[in-house]
Structures are given as structure tokens and as C-alpha cells.
A and B are shown apart, each in its own frame.
Chain A
Amino acid sequence: MNPLLQVAGIGKEYRKGSQSFHAVSGVDFSIARGETFGLIGESGSGKSTIGKMITGLEHPTSGSLLYDGTPLWTDNKFNRLKPGEMQIVFQDPQSSLDPRMRVQSIIMEPLQALPAAERKAKGTTEKLHALITRVGLKVEHLNRFPHEFSGGQRQRIAIARALITDPAFVVLDEPTSALDVSVQAHVLNLLQELKRERNLTYLFISHNMSVIRYMCDRMAVMQKGRIVETGTVADIFNNPKDAYTQTLLSSLPSLHAKKVDNECSTEQSLEKSASKSS
């Protein structure tokens, strides 16, 4: 089967005068339909730039991006093949919702880009009410403003907004990094459930190894604009080949850090939890 998203030799170079900086260079990966693909890296690794290039915020300076077989960019122009097909959820729900808009208008906003007939069909009151309750909020919340909500609730609003157009592919750019642990658990659970219910494909961008391990099927590790390792999550966690991946894994503070000390803590805990569940 063809991959839903194919990233081939993509690069992003920023020029300032005679200086140039490669934020991303020669990145290849592909995401199959129904998969959750994790992109992990530290700040400045270029992982967010890739998310921006896929969603049309930044144009690549080399390589190609194919969505369902069709190129997303021709030169510097973004081809929005089918509006609403692809959506994004940002890290900071504080600034990703317009403070002067009510929740209802925020959630309905992506529909504005759709053709009139589709906009009507997808923007019915029943659909809106079903969606807001599905993400764990109440119908009466629709009339409120973003500042009346907690961080977790705001992220739920952002998720509802991304889903109103019934997308097939969602980019999740550090969706839980700004949230408390207990809130993160709710949001991750919600994302998992929604994926199953709506046959979504996710690109999950994060700096958090444990979140990626828990959420993703396959992953790529990025460092300084390049991918250093790609593979299934289990492979990379159990048998990291690249030195940088090994460093990342060993710096991960784990609850069992003290006990296991120098051994690969995550591997152990993985085994432990696996045996517990069986």
C-alpha cells in the first residue's frame, strides 16, 4: 500500500545575507495510513520545522513532500489539495486559541476554508455538540472564551477544532508538553481513542521519549536537522543503534533511575510492564 505521507530528501535552509543555516537537511520517512509516527528530538533538531512544512507554514528548500501521492509544494506554493484533510494541534493551547473568540467560533473556524456545501454538512449543530462532548467538554462551554478554561481543557478545544473537518491526517506538535502529568494522561488517552474511532493517521512530534514510546508505532530520532535513526518504537527502545539515541535514552529520568542505575532503564521497565499485563 502507498504511504499516506512521504517525505523524501526534504530540507529547509534559512538564509540571512551570506550566511545560511540548515534547519532540516535530507530527511526521509514515510507514514502509512492509520499509523502513529513519532518524531523525536531536542530543541533545534528541526522536528517542528518538518511539521510546519507539512502543514503549509514553511516551504521546503529542497526535496519533496507527497501526500497520498500528490506533491504538497510546487516551488513556494502550498497545494491545499482538499481543505480540512490535514490538521495540526500545537503545543501551547494558551496561544493557539484566539483570546477574543468564543469556543464555538474557534472550533468552527477551519470550516471556513471548505466549500459551502461541505461546510454546511460538517458544521451542523448536532455535529458540533457531539464533537464537544466527545472531547470531554460540555455544550454550555461553547459560549465561553478561552481564558475561562484550564490548559487541558484548552487543548481539548484545539483537538475539537482540528477534528471538525473530519481530517485523515493530524500533526500533533508537542500536544501535551505544556500540560501537567495528570492532564497529559487524559489528553493522550483522548488522542488514542479518537484515532481508533476516526481512523486517523498521526505525526506525533515530541521531545519526550516516554510519550513517544507510549503513543507511536514507528519513530524517527532527529538531531541537528537530520534523522539519525528510524524504526519501530520497540526496536529503537530495545536496541538503539545510534550513539545519540543511546544518549537520549540514558538521560531519560525514569522512576527507577536509582535502582537500575547504569543499565538501560526503559528496557527493563518495558519488560516489567509487559510481563505485568500478560
Chain B
Amino acid sequence: MLLEIKELTVEFTSMQDKIKALKNVSISINQGEIVGIVGESGSGKSVTALTILGLLEKNASIPAGSITYKGRNILTLDKKELQALRGKEIGMVFQEPMTALHPTMRIGDQLAEVIHRHRRISYREAYQQAVISLAEVQINDPELVARKYPFELSGGMRQRVVIALAMSAPPDLLIADEPTTALDVTIQHEILKLMQDLAAKRGTSIMLITHDLGVVAEVCQRVVVMYAGEVVETGTTEEVLHRPNHPYTKALIGALPDLAVPGQALSAIPGESPDLRNRPRGCVFASRCADSLPICVEESPVLEQAYNGVHTHQVACWRREAE
């Protein structure tokens, strides 16, 4: 196992309020695997990524849990060790490529600098490597693009550059937070394909954070569904998307217009996400759930095997179908 998050809890203190952004989150990623973390805003999917990267702000605290990367607990590393881990071992790609690029530095130089630092080769060699890595992210005419500035490129091209940058070390784990959300669908398709190919070629694991179940279906082997800072369901993409067990996952799929019949109402989830300052005592989804039981508001369910015999598929629900 490459990365194992165990019962992680993260809290933010904002003035007088304490916000529990993550509660008992357990996620594991194997070597070479693409795992989708899917959830809506406030589900804690981005906080999970930032915790792994050690990039939480000062007002955050981690009262419980561990994150083991290659046998080391990341949460106990100091700043320097984390810095070394980021970029070299763990690459990052974010939604807005412009934020990851130096605005007044040529693309080739940005890449060469990082390669030069990570691989301990001369700058000249690093620059040649940079051009090769641009070709690897399917940029036509990499020499020309290497001489350009970020603002001269389209959004899709920029994201390719960021992927080249993130993969330059090359890392063992790539964390991609909504990498295609700001892009057009046709480009999104290409970028996802590119990430998938690169990961397969180099054996890189990808943690793909997204709100889009379609994206998950397209590239992920496994998926973790998060809701209000908790993992509610996890399993292979096939299992979770085609045989969802948790009412939230079912509702989320049902709310998509993709499969809906025009003229018929979409099955929308009633109510709003719970207030993370005052977490409900029982299941976080109970108040919006159509089939909640008395126990649902009393006690939180834990992740357990969903459907007998499928050990990869787990769900946190009192109504878990163990047929």
C-alpha cells in the first residue's frame, strides 16, 4: 500500500467556532491505482488532499488519525521533510493551472528548474528533459511551447504544463484536485486520458478529487464517496456507480440529469448539508435520508462490507443491504 489514511479527523477553529471538516476518514491508495474522491462542496475532499500535503492553515488541528505514506506517518514530519515530499514524491495538480505557474517565467525554464532540482542533472540536460516532458503531455511543438509564457497558452495547454510539472520528479503519487473542472468538455476528456496514460506508463498512483461522477466513471478504478467530512461509501467504480448502496450515493446519481427522462422531475435530495459546527449525533445523512431508521439519528454507522461477498465495497449505513 502506497498511502493509507486512517481514522483521520481534522478541525478548524474560526473565532469561537470549531468546525469538524473531517471525521474518521479512512482511505487507502495502492501502487499504480487511480482512486476517485467524490463529493459536493463541504464534503471534505479538498481538506483531505491538503492534509496529505501538509498544507493546512494554522487554524487547523488534527486531533486524531494517521496518514502513512510508504510506511512513514506524514503527520509527524517536519516542514523540511514535508517540503521534500511534496513535488518530489507527491505531485499536485489543481483546478486553476495559472496558480501553479510562474506568470513571468518561460514554460521551459519553469520545468527545467524543477527537473534540475529533483534529478541533480545539469540545467542544460534538464531543459532538454523539460522539452521531452512537454512532448509527453501531448503538446505539439514542445520546443516552441517551452519558449512561451503561461499567459500565451490556453487553459487546456496550461493544465498540460502543470501535469508535466507535477510529473517531472517523477512522483509516486499524484494528487489532482478538480483538474478538469475549469476546462471545456472536449479538453477535459483529453486531459483525463493523458493522466490515465501517464499513470499507467510510470506506475504513478493518482488521487483524483472531483465533484463529477462522470469523471470518476471515466478514469478511476476505485472511488470514495464523501459527505459532510465522512466517507459514506467506497468500492470499485463499477460497484459504487452501478450498485450504489448508500442512500446518498444513490441520490447523487439520481440527481444527475444524464440519465433522467426529459419532462420528468429529477430526484433531488431534500434539505441541506449539515452544519459542520454542530454535527448530528447519528448518521450525517439521516436528516435528508428517505429511509432513515430510529437508530440513524442515535448512532453513527461505521464503514462495513456492503452486499455479502464483495469485500472491496464498503458502506456506512444502518440500512446497508447485506443480501
| Direct touching of A and B (C-beta under 8 Å) | yes
The chain A residues found within 8 Å of chain B, CB to CB, are: 42-43, 150-151, 180-186, 188-189, 192-193, 207-211, 213-216, 233, 247-248, 250-258, 266, 269, 272-274, 277
Contacts A192-B263, A255-B241 known; list 9 others, CB within 8 Å: A42-B185, A150-B272, A210-B257, A216-B262, A250-B189, A251-B189, A253-B218, A254-B214, A258-B217
Q: Does B26 contact A (CB under 8 A)?
A: no
User: Which secondary structure dominates chain B's binding surface?
Assistant: helix
- Which of B48-56, B100-108, B124-132, B247-255 is near enough to bind chain A? B247-255
A207 to chain B, nearest CB (A): 7
Give the Cβ gap from A202 to chain B, nearest Cβ, in Å: 13
Q: Which residues of B sit under 8 angstroms from A185, Cβ to Cβ?
A: 255-257, 266-269
- B-chain residues with CB within 8 Å of residue A215 when the two chains form the complex: 257, 262
Q: Does A274 lie within 8 Å of B251, measured CB to CB?
A: no
Q: Is the CB of B186 within 8 A of A181?
A: no
Q: Which residues of B contact A211 (CB under 8 A)?
A: 257
A-B contacts, CB under 8 A, total: 107
Given A42-B185, A181-B256, A269-B259: A253 in contact with B211 (beta carbons within 8 A): no
Asked whether A182 lies within 8 Å of B212 as measured between CB atoms, the reply is: no
A253-B189, A253-B214, A255-B253 known; A182 vs B259 contact (CB < 8 Å): no
A233 touches B262 (CB 8 A): yes
- The minimal Cβ–Cβ distance linking A192 to chain B, given in whole angstroms, is 7
B:186-213 near A, CB below 8 Å: 186, 188-189, 192, 211-213
Beta-carbon contact of B211 and A181 below 8 Å: yes
| Chain A residue at minimum C-beta to C-beta distance from B185 | A251
* CA distance in complex: A250, B259 (Å): 16
CB of B323 within 8 A of chain A?
no
Bound complex: CA of A208 vs CA of B188, how far in Å?
12
Cβ of B265 under 8 Å from chain A:
yes
A248 contacts which of B40, B185, B217, B257 (Cβ < 8 Å)?
B185
Chain B residues, CB < 8 A from A209: 185
Given contacts A185-B255, A210-B256, A256-B217, contact A251 B188 (CB under 8 A): yes
